[in-house]
Amino acid sequence: MFETHKKQAINRLNKARGQLDGIIKMIENDKKPRDIVTQILALKGSLNGVNDIMLECHLYDRAPESLTDSSQRQKEKFIKEIIKTWSIAK
């Protein structure tokens, strides 16, 4: 994993951890459900950002070898892998 991707992912996950702790406190303190939902959506956004970073890292790691491989089958396998990963990340 590239050092910049690693730092970005860890920073976002630490932010998400803080958001999750905040959501738990909001529920414990009987805050308005609307406000809790807003924070849950923000948390989802943070986690989606981590997914994007990981997908980018995966592409940088695997794309050069997979797309320059002379085997058409290997290229198709890689493209299907990316589509599957992207679908899961949505």
DSSP 24: H
Name the pLDDT band for 77 (thresholds 50, 70, 90): confident
The distance between the two most distant Cα atoms of the chain, rounded to a whole number of Å, is: 60
Average predicted confidence (pLDDT) for the chain: 86
Percent of the chain with pLDDT over 90: 48
Domains of the chain: 3-89 (1.20.58.1000)
Give DSSP secondary structure letters for 26-79. HHHTT--HHHHHHHHHHHHHHHHHHHHHHHHHHHHHHHHHHHHSS-HHHHHHHH
40-52 tens-digit pLDDT? 999 999 999 998 8
